[in-house]
Structure 1
C-alpha cells in the first residue's frame, strides 16, 4: 500500500495499524495525519510503547499518558483515580501509539480498560480512534525468563486487538535504505532466507573505517557500561558525581537499583554524552532523551547539577527523580538519583526507532528475536556499518511473527483492492463533523510536535507550558502560584521548582511577595527540623503533599494548604533555616 491511500483511510476515523519494514515511510505518513489534524484543531495524543521511542516523537509513553504505569492490573479505585487525574483522555479525538511491537498484550488490555472507563464508552478503547504503528519484526515486549508468556505477549494475540477491528495498512516502498545490498539482506531476514553470501557481506563491513566518534550498538548493558566508562576517562577536566539516596527496606532498594540500572554514584564531566532514564514531561525529558553536558550549576537544594544540551537544542537541568516500590499508595522502598546515564554506547533495545548515518554493531551476544534486524535496519547503507560480532541467533525471527506478517500483507492487499477507486471526500467530511460535534477541538493550536526520526527542533505543549511559566516568573508583574498552576495544568510543586530554577539563574528576581505569613514559615521550619532529627535521608520537601500536611500538623498543630507549604520552601533550606538568596 502507498502512503497516500493509508492516509486517506486514517482520515475516515477507523482504527488503523500502520506497518511495513524499517524505512518504509511510516513516520512520514503519521506526521501527515498529525499535520492534517493540527490544521483542523482536532485534539490528539502522541505516545509510544517505550521512553526512547517517545523521545523521538516528542510525545509521552503510553504508560504515562494513560496512567497505567507499570501495573499489570487495575482496581476499581485505581481506575477512578486515573479518571480524575487524566482529564485529557476524555477530550482526545485520536490516539497514536508508536512502536506497537514492544507493547505487551496485557498492557493493550489495560489501555482499553482505562479508555472505556474514563470516556464512559463501552466500545473498544472507549470509542477513540487509535492509530498503532510499528513492525513486529523488530523487538518484542520485554519479559523475564521466569514470566515468559510466549506468543501471548504480542498485541495481535489479544482479544482487544480483534475488538478494535484494526484496518491493516502495510507500506511497501523503501525510503531509508539507499543501498540495494542492505535492503536485500533485511528482506532475507524477514523471509527467513538469509544466504551465506549475505552473511559474508555483513562480516566484510568489519573493515569499514567510520571514525572514532561513531555510535556503538551492543546487545548487553555490560558492554555498554565498559565503553562509556572508558570514553569518560578520555575527557580532561573536573569530574562531578551525584550520590543516590535510599529510603525503606534495604534489599528492596538494592533490587530497585539493579532492575532500573540506577548508579549509586553517577559520575560525569562537562562534554560527556548522556541519556535521560526517566520520564518527566513537565521538565521536558523522557526516558531516552539524549544530549551532552555543557555546563554545571549550583542548586541550593541539590548541590552541583549538570546542564544538558539535548540533540534537539534544548537546555535541561535534570530533576532528582524517585524510583520506588509501594503498597496501598505508600512507598515501602525508594531510591532518589539524577535520571541520567552515560551514552557513548547504547543497547540495540534503546536504538529502536533511530536512523543512523553510521554505527559500530556487535551482535556476537544477541539473545532474542529481532535484535539483529533492529540493529542493521538503523543504517542507510552497508558503507555506514561496521559489524564486529555476529552469532547464530542474531538474525532469527519468531515464526509466529512471520505468519502474522503474511496475514497483515494479505489484509492490506484486500483493503487496497476495496478502496482502489474509492472517493474518500464524503467520509473525511463526515468524520471531521463527528469529531467537532464530540468537542474534540482545541480553541488554538496546541501541538507543534509529531513523529520525528531526523534532525530538527520541535516545541511541544509541555515546552509551551514551560515558556508560559518562565514568562510569568520573569515578568515584572506579580502572579499567583495557584493560578499559574491551574493555567498551565501542572502541580503547585512544579511551579515552585520553576521559580527556584529561575531565581538561581537570576539573583535579582523578586519573589519576596510570594513569602507566606510568618506563622506558616515558623510551622514549616519547625517541621523540617523535627524531620531532620529523625535521620531521614530524603529531604523533607521530597515527600508527597499528604505526608507533608500530616507531619506539619502533628509537630506544630498547624493545618496548612499545599501552596503554603511549597511556597515556604522558597524561603527555607533542607535544615529548616532561612535561605540566603
Structure 2
C-alpha cells in the first residue's frame, strides 16, 4: 500500500505518467487497491487450513500431560477452522465488533446529540488549483480524497477542540464513497450534560442549524446555500424528479412551514461503523485456562507454553493485587486507568487519568454458556477481585462455582417456576419426570439446578419406580437408591444430549451417572468399509405427496439393517420429525446463525459431533430446496476440513430430497415475477403440477391463474372458518378430526384473526396466560422500555404472544426445538390435554411420533430475528401458539386428510407458495379459498429456471 501511495504524489522535476491518464487513472487506483486487498485475503485464505483456534485447556489436553503428542502421525488435530479475524476491515466479525463498540459508548455516555454529514465538493479551490493543464476533478480523484480528508480534519478540530456545538466527549465517524466516486462522511457527536441541556432549547438549535435562506446582507453565505442546499422541485410540480418514489418524495419534501423550531420525540438507532481505531477496548472473558489460543496446524507444542501468559482478565486480577487503590474498579472500567501492552501482554497503571474517555466492553456471552455467563455477570458487578477464586468468595464464604456466587449476591432469579412445574408433573404422572427436568435444564436457564435436583430427588426416584411397574427388564435394573439415582441421571443426560451432543450433567453442576454400574445399552460398534463408488451425491426429486418421505425411510431401514450408520436431517423441523431419528440440519451440523458465505460449522475434529460425522456412512437431507446456499456450502466446507479431502461434502454419501416446485428460501429484499401458461380444464393432480411448474396463466395477467370451478370460494373469514371446521361443536373433543383441518395463510398477520374466530366456535371456558417480558442485555437501557410496550412486541412466528387464550382440546404449535428425537420440534402440532398454572400437558397428534406426550413449562423465549430493535429482549411464556391456522411455509412437508382453507386475501409472494398450499390435500373438493376478487384468480409465483 505504501508503495502505491508513493507513486501518487507529484515530485518536483519528475514527470508522473499515471497522473496524466485521465479516467484510466481511476481504473489504475481501483486495480491497485484490489491487488493489495487480494494479497491480504490470499494470505488468510492459504493459511486457513493451517490456522486454527482452541481454548488453552483443550490444546493442553490434546498434547497430553507431557506437552507433546504421543504419535505425531496419529495425533488428533486440535481446535476448529479459524476464519477471517475481526482485524480485517469490512468482514462480518469486524462489523459486529464495531457495532458492539458503538453500543458500549452509547451505554456509558448516553445517546448521541449531533448527526453531521460532510460531502466533498469538486469545485473547492484547493482542488481546482492543483489540477494539471486540461484536467477536471473527475480525472484526479486522489486530489478530491486528499483535500476532503484535510478539510474533514479541520472540521473535526473545530467541533472537538473549539466546542462549536458544545463540549464533545465522544464521536463516531464513517467515511463512504458516493456512486459518482466522491467521499462523504457521517459523524455523530456525544456531548456532555451541560451541552445536552443547551440543545433542548430551540433557540440554541437555531444557532447551530437553520432551514431559512440567509439574508442578502451576507451574500457569500446566501450564494453557498442557494447553490448547494436547495432541494429541486418535485412532487406534483415535477413528478419525474430523481427523488420521487411511487407517489411521494423519498426525502419527504416539501417540509411544512413552522413558526418556531420544535424537537421531535422520536429517536434514531446508531447504525454507523467506524473505520479507524476507536476508544473502545474489548476485554477478554474466559474461564480459568480456557482463553483462546491461535496457532498454525502442526505448531501446537510451541503455542501451548506461549499461550500460558496473561490475558486482560488475568492482568486485571494482578492489578487489583498490586494496586490496592484500584480495587474499587470493576472490570469494564479497567481500561480507564490501565494501559494494555500487547507485546508483553501486561498492563501499566495510568495515574494521570488520560484514559477517562476510553470505554471498556466485555465480550457478550449467551446465558446458555453456563459458567462463562455467570462469570461475566460477576465481572460486571464485583470490583477488586484478585483471582478467579477470590471472585467466587462472597462475604468470606468460598463458593464452588460462579453460578453459586451469583446466587449469593442475588444476581439470579429463584427457581420457583420450575419447582411448581416439577410438582405438577409429578402429581399427573403424564411424562417421565426426568424428561421434564432435562427440558428445564436445556431451555429454561434455572439459576440453581443442583438444588432443584436435591430438593426433588425423592420425586424422581418415585417416578422411575412407578414407571418400572409392569416392565420386568427395567424393574430388574432398579435395586436401591444409589442404582436408581444413577439410572435417573442417565435418563436426564441422554435427553440433554438430544438437544446438544456435547452437553453433560457436569455442564449444569450436577452429578454424573455412576460409571461403575452396568450400562443398560452400549453404542453399536460399526466398522465402515471403504466405499469406492464414484458417485456419492444423489438427489431425489418428486412432487409433493408422492412418497419422498416413504422412499427415504425405506433407505434408512435398509442400511441400518446391514448395519450402517445413517444420519437423517431436514431443513425444517416439521419435515425432520417425519424421518426416523430425524433432526434439523442446523442442530446436527451445528450451522451458525446467521450464516455467511465464509462460515464454518461449530464443531471440531475431536468433538462428539465431529467423531459422529467421521463415522457416518450416509447422510439424508430432506427439504433441501428450503435451505440457503450459504448453509449448504458451510456444511460442505466443514465436512471437507473434517475428512481432510477436497471431495464434495468430504466424500460422504449424501441423498438430498426436495421439490423445486415448493417454497424456496425467502431472500430479504428479493423480488421475482414470471409469466405462466393458459389455464385449461384439468383434473386436480394435473392442475397441481401445472401450478408448481408455472404452466398456467390468465390471458391478460401472466402472473395470475384461474382456480378450477371444483374449488369452493368464500368472501369472509368467518364463512371460511365455518366451511373448513363445519361440525366443530360435535367434534371439538376429537383431536384427529381437528388436526386434519387447517386454514393456510401466506403471511403471519391473519393468523390471530382466524384463530380467534375458531376459538369462539368451540365450547367451554378458556384460560388466559400472560408473559413476563424484560430486557436483559447489559447493552440496553431497560428503563426506557415500559412493560406495556414490551407486551405489544411480536417477532413473526418465533415469539409466543404476550397473552395466550387457550382451552382444553385446542390444537397448538410448538415454537421451540426441544427434543427432535421425540418429535418435540418447532412447527409440530399438539392437542392440549390438561393445563395448570405452571405446566401444559400436550400430546403429539400426527407423524411418526403420534401419541408422544410433553410436559411444557414456561421458558425464556427471544426473537429469532437478528435485526430485532431491542437487543436482549426476553419473554418468559409457554412457547406455543394456537394452531387452527398456519402459514404455507410452516405447512410445507405436512398433509391433511380433511378440509383445508386458503386465505389468499394477501396473494402469494414467493416461489412455490400457491403450489404448497393447494397440494396439502388430495382432492379439490377439500379446498376452500378466501379471496378479495370475485373472478376466482390469484397470483402464482414460479421461477422456471429453478425447475430446469
TM-score range, shorter chain: 0.5 to 0.7
Which residue among 181, 187, 202 is the counterpart of 2:689?
187
SS at match of 1:133: strand
Match of 2:840 in 1: 306
Quickly say closer, same or farther: Cα 1:12–1:75, change in 2 above 3 A: closer
Residue in structure 2 matching 1:63, options 586, 589, 592: 586
Query: Which of 869, 883, 887 lines up with 1:343 in the alignment?
Result: 883
Cα RMSD (Å): 3.6
2:898 equivalent to 1:396? no
User: Equivalents in 1 of 2:601, 2:569: separation in Å?
Assistant: 21
Once the two structures are TM-superposed, the CA of residue 226 in structure 1 deviates from its matched residue by 1.0
Distance in 1 between residues matched to 2:852 and 2:885, nearest whole Å: 22
Q: Residues of 2 paired with 1:27 and 1:382: CA distance?
A: 23
Q: CA deviation at 1:92?
A: 1.8
Number of the residue aligned with 1:295: 834
Give the structure 2 partner of residue 236 of structure 1. Answer: 764
- Any idea what SS the aligned residue of 2:765 has? coil
What TM-score do the two structures reach when normalised by structure 2?
0.35
CA-CA distance at 1:306 after TM superposition: 0.8
Does residue 24 of structure 1 match 2:546?
Answer: yes
**Structure 1 residue 77, shift from structure 2 partner:** 9.3
Q: Tell me the TM-score normalised to structure 1 length.
A: 0.55
Picking from 873, 883, 894, the partner of 1:354 is 894
Q: Residues 385 and 326 from structure 1, CA distance in 2 versus in 1: closer, same or farther, beyond 3 angstroms?
A: closer
Alpha-carbon contact 1:140-1:369 (below 8 Å) kept: yes
Structure with the bigger percentage of helix: 1
5+ residue gaps in structure 2?
1-532, 674-680, 700-704, 715-719, 729-740
Cα distance change, pair 387–342 in 1 and its aligned pair in 2 (3 A): same
2:471 is matched with none
- The structural deviation recorded for 1:205 is 2.3
Q: What are the Cα deviations for residues 384-412 of structure 1, in whole angstroms up to 9, with x where unaligned? A: 111222876632301322xxx23xxxxxx
1:103 CA drift (Å): 0.3
What CA deviation, in whole Å up to 9, does each residue of 1:261-287 have, x standing for no partner?
Answer: 331233322111101111112775101
- Partner of 1:294, secondary structure, is strand
Give 1:367's match in structure 2, choosing from 881, 901, 909: 909
Q: Which has the higher contact order (CA 8 A, sep 6+)?
A: 1
Q: Is the 8 A contact 2:799 2:815 kept in 1?
A: no
Residue 640 (structure 2) pairs with residue 95 (structure 1): no
Partners of 2:601 and 2:573 in 1: CA distance: 23
Q: Within the alignment, does 1:266 sit opposite 2:794 as a pair?
A: no
> Aligned to 2:654, what secondary structure does the other structure show?
strand
Indicate the SS of the match to 1:108. helix
Q: 1:74 to 1:370 in 2, by over 3 A?
A: closer
Which string of whole-angstrom CA distances, capped at 9 and with x for unpartnered residues, describes residues 540-574 of structure 1? Answer: xxxxxxxxxxxxxxxxxxxxxxxxxxxxxxxxxxx
Structure 2 CA distance for aligned equivalents of residues 50 and 336 of structure 1: 24
Higher alpha-carbon deviation: 121-130 or 131-140: 121-130
Out of 36, 42, 59, the position equivalent to 2:564 is 42
- 1:313 deviates by 0.8
1:232 deviates by 2.7
1:318–1:118 CA distance, 2 compared to 1 (3 A): farther
Q: Which runs of 5+ in 1 are unaligned?
A: 1-10, 152-178, 298-302, 407-581
Q: Offset at 1:57?
A: 3.0
Report if aligned partners of 1:369, 1:393 keep a CA contact under 8 Å in 2: no
- Is 1:235–1:271's contact at 8 Å kept on the other side of the alignment? no
1:378 aligns with 2:378: no
Q: Is the 8 A contact 1:322 1:334 kept in 2?
A: yes
1:201 aligns with 2:690: no
Alpha-carbon distance between aligned partners in 2 of 1:50 and 1:256, rounded to the nearest angstrom: 25
1:128 alignment partner in structure 2: 652
| Equivalent in the alignment of 1:423 | none
CA–CA distance in structure 2, aligned partners of residues 272 and 114 of structure 1: 43
Aligned residues of 1:270 and 1:296 also touching (Cα < 8 A): yes
State the 1:19 CA deviation: 0.3
Q: How many residues align?
A: 357
Residues 306, 317 of structure 1: 8 Å contact kept: yes
* CA shift for structure 1 position 204: 4.3
Shift of 1:219: 1.0
Preserved CA contact (<8 Å) 2:773 2:873? no
SS of 1:29's partner is: helix
Query: Deviation at 1:34?
Result: 1.1
